[in-house]
Amino acid sequence: MSDPRLARLSLNQRTTANWSLREAIEGAVAAGLRSIGLWREPVAEVGVEVARRWVDEAGLRVSSLCRGGFFTDGDPARRAAALADNRAAIDEAAALGARTLVLVPGGLPPGDKDISAARSRVADAVAELVPYAHERGVTLGIEPMHPIYAADRGVVSTLAQALDIAEQFDARDVGVVVDTFHVWWDPDVLTQIARAGERITSYQICDWITPLPPDALLARGMMGDGHIDFQELTRAVAKAGYTGDVEVEIFNADIWAMPGEQVLATMARRYLNLVQPYL
């Protein structure tokens, strides 16, 4: 019998990056989880239909599919390619029954210093994708990213910006991803989580650790190893009405070097101590 307190905990499969999709599904089930966050690349390795069958047979929900987005380039050909890739991602999210397709906006195009224009192109791209996503019943989740990534990964830096875009559409079509790593520092975070309300399509958790590891893309820590107040953020997300899964997404070389079973045991324990009581 799995611990009922783990009913909303989800393993984002990048947390155990060295596991195959099959191993991640089996590992999640063995740890008593009922949900998993998938990435397109490992899904593509086995095909969407096989991936869907595996998660169904394992009795898991797909809390999110990572990721669409990267549509900040103004060049018409690259922009068209990005939108086509996003439509493919929407199809995959629909086929997997994913709660949301996570959109990582993308950074500044090479040599381009106009961050306002790049931000506008994010809003335009979302607008262009909404009808396609709506027809397929997929909710787009705009993920604001920590300003450390504003130049090269995500020009949408705050929940307020993400909501300014999302609120132009029906909440079933466009929401926002609240990832503790990206938003914890924001002086306005509690207000914006309350504002988000039903638009929160995913709650992702990991910690901000110091000193920051040398590779900024692998700088995330296990909950409890860093500086984030999970109680406050989790209470705010719960108060906003979020009833979905809580996905642990950690990019960290040290954690990737650990046996996956151990990572899941630690994340379940930390979740029970630091997060679950405040949901």
Pick one of 115, 130, 171, 272: the residue that binds a second copy (CB under 8 A). Answer: 115
Among 69, 104, 93, 66, which residue's Cα sits nearest to residue 249? 66
Pick one of 151, 194, 253, 265: the residue that binds a second copy (CB under 8 A). Answer: 151
Between 12 and 158, CB nearer to a second copy:
158
Q: List 207's β-bridge partners, or say none.
A: 221
Kindly state whether residue 4 participates in binding a second copy, applying the rule CB under 8 A: no
User: Could you tell me which stretch among 93-101, 166-174, 220-228, 258-266 binds a second copy (CB under 8 A)?
Assistant: 220-228
- Contact, 67 vs 39, CB < 8 A? yes
Per-residue x/- track, 36-75, a second copy (CB under 8 A): ----------------------------------------
User: Could you tell me which stretch among 22-30, 38-46, 64-72, 225-233 binds a second copy (CB under 8 A)?
Assistant: 225-233
Between 44 and 216, CB nearer to a second copy:
216
Quick one: CA dihedral 56, 264, 242, 64, positive or negative? negative
Pick one of 30, 44, 227, 254: the residue that binds a second copy (CB under 8 A). Answer: 227
User: Could you tell me which stretch among 40-48, 51-59, 156-164, 245-253 binds a second copy (CB under 8 A)?
Assistant: 156-164
User: Could you tell me which stretch among 149-157, 236-244, 245-253, 260-268 binds a second copy (CB under 8 A)?
Assistant: 149-157
Pick one of 36, 65, 126, 228: the residue that binds a second copy (CB under 8 A). Answer: 228
User: Could you tell me which stretch among 9-17, 122-130, 150-158, 259-267 binds a second copy (CB under 8 A)?
Assistant: 150-158
Kindly state whether residue 196 participates in binding a second copy, applying the rule CB under 8 A: no
Among 63, 46, 52, 59, which residue's Cα sits nearest to residue 8? 63
First to last CA, the chain: 22
Distance in Å, CB of 185 to a second copy, minimum: 4
Pick one of 56, 135, 170, 215: the residue that binds a second copy (CB under 8 A). Answer: 215
205 — phi, psi (to 5°)? -130, 140
Between 32 and 213, CB nearer to a second copy:
213
**Which residue type is seen at 207?**
D
